[in-house]
A and B are shown apart, each in its own frame.
Chain A
Amino acid sequence: MANTFVQIGSTVTVGSGGAATIDFTSIPSTYTDLLVKLSTRTNGTGGNLRFTLAGITSGVYSEKALYGAGSGSAASFSNTSQAFAATVYTDNTNHTASTFASSELYIPNYAGSTNKSFSTDSVVESNAVGVLAVMGAGLMANTSAVSSISIFPISPDNFVQYTTASLYGIKNS
């Protein structure tokens, strides 16, 4: 059971110029797990965000996700051998103006010497079509400690102003 929940660094709030990527670097290895909380919107139409861990951009990411879109049946998707993970979703220009998606990315045992697993959840907000809830899980088949996390929209999209990202460290003792 986690008994600490400490913000690492400071919350990023994207300015008026937008941003192509948000990077957390030099993450200390003193926690057990990491949690990133996101409130995101992009200026394009790409539905999902991408993230990489420890600067690893080779085809070592695999993932599965379940999603529901507010009507119709739930569905799923899976990917293997990707150069990034892609189970975090975002609001974009298809969604009601000024609405933002809420997401979490959890990385247990991030500083250990085993392959790195992760889980994600996202809720895409809109007052019309396009609402979405996505639960994902995946693996980075690389044993590097997670000392950095990069989160970015599908190019050429950018994060818009007021997108935020916060990183937390969690200890189990």
Chain B
Amino acid sequence: MDTGGRFITWVDRHSTLAILIIPLLIFAALVAHFGGTILESVAVILFINLMLVTGLQMFMGNSGASSFCHTGFMAIGAYISAILTLTVQDKAIAMPELYQVLAQIHWPFMPAMLVAAAVATLVAAVIIFPVMRLSGPAAAISTFALLIISNSVITHWEKLTNGTRAIYGLERYTTVWTSAIFGILSIVVAYWFKESRLGLELRASREDEQAAASIGINIPRARYVAFVSSIFVTGIAGVLWAHFVRSFSPKCFYLTQTFMVVAMLIIGGSGSVSGAVVGTIAVTVILEGLRYVENSINLAGILPFTIIGIPVLTLCVAMILILILRPGGIIAGREIRMQSKWGRSGPATLEPTEQEG
């Protein structure tokens, strides 16, 4: 095989990133220059969702295990960065019961973001290892239990989180460009992780746990690294989200949010980064569109009553239909990539087999 053919093969094989990223960059540029307020907020939400979903894909997609507790770590990112970046005066009003030490702090955004994400990652690194030894329903239930624990702690640790009351007064640091850059970075990280040695090991363990273990793959360790890395992405997403919505309370980080992110991943197809990206875009656009329609109907008073919940209902139906009709998601585990006729057939890659059954 000549060098040219090999090069084309290499380009084909890794064209996924370009195909995923370039349209998003163009979209971000268009919105930043021409978009109005509504379009800008849709774009920011889209990029933050992109981070949450690709973060979750790093763990769920590669390992095949479910995680329902990522939202809890998103909350850690949001709360820590709120505590660090709020001014001393704002904290005295918004979080009167905060620990004295923390009440005196006022940090700039970037260091606060890194520290917040690092704290989330650290918490994950400390507590998650035992759970990674579990598999099947026990693993799923454990992560679900962690979500409930995180919610209970956030709700009741009043000296740190202000309890059930909302935190407000955050600066809006998250612009279209910041969210776009971090969203795209997280796609790169997730893709790189999937193609790395560890990612390959994990994907092998997803296909056949016993076989993977028998060739010397340390599955709990691989899952652990994937989980902790994915939490860093999730933590940053939490920070960006907090500095976009500017006011939040514990109930923002519970079942509904978890369901949204899991739904985006499942609908797109958790087996590939392309699936995560396509699912996020499809679901965010449809959700935000339906929300807009719903709000307009309610504001215009066309109906004698207000309607709430159409977007989520649609999402549930879409998700159940996908799970029944196309269990691999829209993209069904593959990556979107170029197929030029000059390249040789690429090296064997590990793509998920058709759903068993």
Do A and B pair up? The answer is no
- Tell me the B residues contacting A by CB distance below 8 Å: none
- Tell me the A residues contacting B by CB distance below 8 Å: none
